[in-house]
């Protein structure tokens, strides 16, 4: 049985922890709002990019002059996985969810006899994946210093990937990130970025889709300029979704922690009060029985 002093100390320490988690929750909430705004602001670009891309693909009609980034190498022996996670922990199952999802994927690929290469974006994913597949990790991108996620960050990652592709480093590239559905639910997602699968329905839905475009320069040239850009955009979107998801996960994790701390304080105070009362009663009994003995 802990003494009264021990209990007092524990209550004080839990209270201090609660204050920290509470503060973290509020910080996460503020950051979440900013991350969501950033994600929203980036949406028009990626939407239009998708529409334009679909348009051009239609114009070319999947002809032979489509760049390799789109058609792929025709093989699927070497897979490159870009696993995007957060830089920091304390956000519930956010990082491990993505890592687990990626790990399942890797296991499947390895079982099929494919070769796997991994690029880790974010420290946490690297820490988790290093244990099992450390040998497969070819690079890690550190975004720890980055305060606000800019397009340049995504562009740098995409350039690396494309560079690797041009050197024949891999055949298929898949992007792993967490899709931000709501504050309490983030869905780990795998998205294939090379070869780029283009949704051609988007063009038909748009009114301008049927117009006959003039291209300047040739469609093929535009396309080869566009595809790398589109890859950057997709990486950027993944990073933004991740940032929002991380903050959402952190917010709910910290909310839980704050609530748990509250419960713990209640329980400890009850024990504390009960023990104090027991001690008082014990002392009273001692005094009374002492008086009776006289």
Partner 1 sequence: MPEAFKFELVSPERLLVSEQVESVVIPGAEGEMTVMAHHAPVMTTIKPGVVTLKTASGKEERYVVFGGFADIVPAGCTLLAESAVAVGDIDRAELARRIQEAREDAADAKDDQTRSKAEQFLNQLTTLEGAILPA
Active site residues: 91
- Residue 125's CB is within 10 A of a number of other CB atoms, namely 27
Q: Which is nearer to partner 1, 205 or 288 (CB)?
A: 205
44 binds partner 1 (CB under 8 A): yes
End-to-end CA separation in angstroms for the chain = 33
CB of 166 to partner 1, least distance (A): 10
Longest Cα–Cα distance of the chain, Å, equals: 114
221 to 260, contacts with partner 1 by CB under 8 A?
221-222, 225-226, 229, 232-233, 236
Tokens of 143: 């975004």
Out of 49, 68, 78, 136, the only residue in the binding site for partner 1 (CB under 8 A) is 49
CA dist 35 and 292 (Å) reads 73
Out of 11, 14, 24, 38, the only residue in the binding site for partner 1 (CB under 8 A) is 38
Pairing of strands 185-194, 172-182: antiparallel
CA dist 16 and 265 (Å) reads 11
Out of 1, 214, 289, 292, the only residue in the binding site for partner 1 (CB under 8 A) is 214
154 binds partner 1 (CB under 8 A): yes
Q: Which is nearer to partner 1, 104 or 221 (CB)?
A: 221
Q: Are 178 and 241 in contact (CB under 8 A)?
A: yes
Q: Which is nearer to partner 1, 38 or 244 (CB)?
A: 38
Contacts of 199 (CB under 8 A, 6+ apart): 50, 54
283 binds partner 1 (CB under 8 A): no
Which ranges of 78-172 would DSSP assign to H, the alpha helix? 94-111, 123-133, 151-166
Out of 6, 16, 33, 45, the only residue in the binding site for partner 1 (CB under 8 A) is 45
41 binds partner 1 (CB under 8 A): yes
Query: What φ, ψ does residue 205 adopt, rounded to 5°?
Result: -70, -30
Name the site residues for partner 1 (rule: CB under 8 A): 38, 41-42, 44-46, 48-49, 51-52, 55-56, 150-151, 154-155, 207-208, 211-217, 219, 221-222, 225-226, 229, 232-233, 236
């Amino acid at each position: 049985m802990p003494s009264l002093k021990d209990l007092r100390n524990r209550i004080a320490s839990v209270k201090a922890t609660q204050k920290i988690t509470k503060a973290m929750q509020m910080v996460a909430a503020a950051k979440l709002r900013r991350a969501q705004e950033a994600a929203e602001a980036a949406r028009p670009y990626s939407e239009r990019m998708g529409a334009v891309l679909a348009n051009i693909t239609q114009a070319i009609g999947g002809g032979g002059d489509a760049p390799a980034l789109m058609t792929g190498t025709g093989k699927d022996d070497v897979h490159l996985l870009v696993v995007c996670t957060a830089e920091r922990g304390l956000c519930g199952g956010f990082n491990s969810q993505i890592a687990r999802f990626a790990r399942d994927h890797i296991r499947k690929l390895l079982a099929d006899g494919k070769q796997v290469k991994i690029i880790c974006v974010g420290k946490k994913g690297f820490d988790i994946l290093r244990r099992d597949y450390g040998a497969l990790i070819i690079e890690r991108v550190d975004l720890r210093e980055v305060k606000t996620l800019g397009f340049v960050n995504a562009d740098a990652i995409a350039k690396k990937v494309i560079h690797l592709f041009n050197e024949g480093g891999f055949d298929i590239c898949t992007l792993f990130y967490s899709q931000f559905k709501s504050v309490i639910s983030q869905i780990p997602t795998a998205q294939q970025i090379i070869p780029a699968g283009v949704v051609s329905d988007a063009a038909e839905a748009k009114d301008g889709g049927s117009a006959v475009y003039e291209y300047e320069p040739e469609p093929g040239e535009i396309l080869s300029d566009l595809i790398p850009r589109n890859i950057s955009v997709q990486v950027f979107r993944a990073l933004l979704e991740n940032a929002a998801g991380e903050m959402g996960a952190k917010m709910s994790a910290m909310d839980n922690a704050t609530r748990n701390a509250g419960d713990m304080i209640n329980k400890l105070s009850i024990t504390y009060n009960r023990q104090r009362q027991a001690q008082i009663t014990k002392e009273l009994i001692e005094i009374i029985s002492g008086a009776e003995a006289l």
